[in-house]
Amino acid sequence: MLNVEIRHAIDPKTAKAFDTKAMREHFHVGGIFREGEINLIYTHYDRMIVGGAVPAGKRLELDHVKPCGTASILDRRELVVVNIGAEGIVTAGTEYKMAKGDMLYLGMGSGSIEFSGDGRFYILSAPAHQTYPSRLIKIDEAASISLGAQETSNERTIYQFVHPEVMKSCQLVVGMTKLKNGSVWNTMPAHVHDRRMEAYLYFDLADNQRVFHMMGEPEETRHLVLKNEEGAISPPWSIHSGAGTGSYTFIWAMAGDNVDYKDVEMVSMETLK
């Protein structure tokens, strides 16, 4: 079963007036991992698609997605699959066996996609202008950066999978951040990047724990309270940062004008309100 939700872009002035219900309606990502289903959110932020597929012993096919306006989703798009569950299989011409934490890049024109096995597959897609080779990327093939410190509660390792230092893509840049024991903050100090939107997915979070995801303009911040396997759609004008009540890992994905990971505008702690 395929379900597609459409999210329209929201400007910062409009977002200032949102209450909690409206914030969650427009920016919260939840309920995308349902057994036997593919659930997608088609956003109007750089036409990014975020979603989930949980075969649960079945075979699920992703092909025609009406909002894309093409016969098959990858006719004019590239796509990344991240397995956040047990071992599973993704087939797109070639069969790819994916362990937890593996990322699979599928280039434009790869055809229909089939999900099977016991995996829980996180899906990310953006428009593409040319075809780059499909590739399965393991964590030891990713570029890594260690940032933060225990003293500031943000010691973490950033793993860059779909990234210029690892492979070529049209506009998707995707990675995973793992926090060290005792650290709770990710991406703090915060930043914005007006040329690219971003999507977060938090996982490996205990059922009784939560992440407080910070967003909004630096001087007009808001937050979402997220549980395991939930995330946030972050507009280009918004900060994106989070603090957890327990340990967690998160996947970040960007799409927009460039693939320059360092193209950001830092936000000082004095600016945040």
Residue pair 111/93 in contact (Cβ under 8 Å)? The answer is yes
Cβ neighbours for 147, distance < 8 A, ≥ 6 positions apart: 154, 155, 156, 157, 158
Same-domain check for residues 86 and 151: no
Compute the average pLDDT of residues 71-80. 98
Task: Give 233's strand partners.
Answer: 199
Among 83, 110, 137, the domain boundary falls at: 137
- DSSP letter string, 194-236: TTEEEEEEEES--TT--EEEEEEETTEEEEEEE-TTEEEEE-T
Q: Environment class of residue 123 by beta-carbon count within 10 Å: exposed (0-12), middle (13-18) or buried (19+)? A: buried
Statement to judge: residues 259 and 230 lie in one domain: yes
Residues 250 and 221 in one domain: yes
Question: Which tokens in the block code for residue 180?
Answer: 């060290």
**pLDDT interval class at 261 (50, 70, 90):** confident
- Whether 218 is in a domain gets the answer yes
Q: What confidence tier does 152 reach under pLDDT thresholds 50, 70, 90?
A: confident
* Band of pLDDT at residue 148, cut at 50, 70 and 90: confident
Out of 85, 115, 137, pick the residue that ends a domain: 137
Q: How far is 210 from 207, CA to CA, in rounded Å?
A: 8
Together in a domain, 157 and 243: yes
In a domain, 17, yes or no: no
Whether 25 maps to a domain, the answer reads no
Helix, strand or coil, per DSSP, at residue 258: coil
Q: Would you state the pLDDT for residue 260?
A: 87
Whether residues 177 and 97 fall in one domain: no
143 and 260: one domain? yes
Q: What is the mean pLDDT of the chain?
A: 96
| Span 175-199, average pLDDT | 94
Note whether 110 and 47 are same-domain residues.
yes
- Helix H, strand E, coil C: the string for 162-187 is ECCCCCCCCCCEEEEEEECCCCCEEC
- Where residue 127 falls among pLDDT bands split at 50, 70, 90? very high
Tell me if 198 is assigned to a ligand binding site: yes
Are residues 157 and 238 part of one domain? yes
Confidence of residue 95 (pLDDT cuts 50, 70, 90): very high
Three-state secondary structure string covering 47-91: CCEEEEEECCCCCEEECCCHHHCCCCCCCCEEEEEEECCCCEEEE
Predicted confidence (pLDDT) at residue 239 exceeds the cutoff of 90? yes
Q: Is residue 118 part of a domain?
A: yes
Tell me the pLDDT tens digit for each residue of 166-184.
Answer: 999 999 999 999 999 899 9
Q: Do 143 and 123 fall into the same domain?
A: no
Q: What is the pTM of this model?
A: 0.96
Tell me, yes or no, whether 103 and 187 share the same domain: no
How many C-beta atoms surround the C-beta of residue 267 within 10 A?
A: 19
Say whether both 185 and 258 belong to one domain.
yes
Indicate which CATH number applies to the domain containing 54. 2.60.120.10
* Mean pLDDT of the 15-37 span: 97
How confident is the model over 238-251, as a mean pLDDT? 96
Q: How many domains does the chain contain in total?
A: 2
pLDDT higher than 90, residue 141: yes
Question: Domain of 41?
Answer: 2-9+31-137
State whether 58 and 125 are in the same domain: yes
To the question of whether residue 26 is assigned a binding role by annotation, the answer is: no
